[in-house]
Amino acid sequence: MKKLWLDLGNTRLKYWVVDNNKIIAHDAKEHLKAPNELLLGLLGTLAGFKPQFIGISSVLGEKINHAITKTLQDFNVPFEFAKVNATHSLLKSHYDPTQLGVDRWLQMLGVVDNTQKQCVVGCGTALTIDLIDEGVHLGGYILPNVYMQRHALYAGTQQIDVKAGKFDSITLGKTTFDAVNHGVLFGVVGAVRAIQADYPDYQITLTGGGSNLLNAQFNNRLAVESELLLRGLERYFFNI
């Protein structure tokens, strides 16, 4: 069965086309706060793959999801939005399900193993940290990612003029430029190190676009699973 998975995030629209559980096409594009318009422009390309089902993860709210629904109704392919299920057979949760983003939940669902203690770190528009104890989500943390932190610092100060630069080191900065870029990365790395110290028996898995940037500060020793949300969608809809 050929399936189309859509991930409608805060800044990007990502899709995978899967045939017999193998990815045959994928892409990610910034939607610039106009995800439905971007989806409309992609429909011709997506129709060429002839999917038989569309599964959707969206964090964009009811109004945009309604527009997406109307667009997909004209696509004439069965579709469904994934929803957080705090009593799922694979993943229970102590978190308020009305407050848990479906993207975070699907990432956890994609990796959960009820024989392990796990920590899922989502490296996207926000940095999310979630702890799972043998199939039970205990809770987590949400932090601004390095780009958001740098932007907030720039916007909220008069003398710091740092809007760009690579996040490639957490060494002591010798200039304000380096102190800002190294500092915000230091904060994110420090959060993950604190999890390692406080929960030493939890296996950490990174996912999301910033995974490699963060993992580099751990000498690439942490596990990286770039397609956890895709795996979560597959488990949610087809229990694969």
Catalytic residues: 103
State the Cα–Cα distance between residues 235 and 221, nearest whole angstrom: 27
The helix-helix angle for 228-238 and 102-111 (nearest 10°) equals 90
Give just the sign of the alpha carbon dihedral 167, 169, 170, 176: negative
Do 177 and 92 touch, CB atoms closer than 8 A? no
Closest residue by Cα to residue 23 from 56, 47, 51, 42: 51
Burial of 131-151, coded b for 16+ CB within 10 Å and e otherwise, reads bbbebebeebeeebbbeebbe
- Helices (DSSP H) in 48-171: which residue ranges? 62-73, 102-111, 146-155
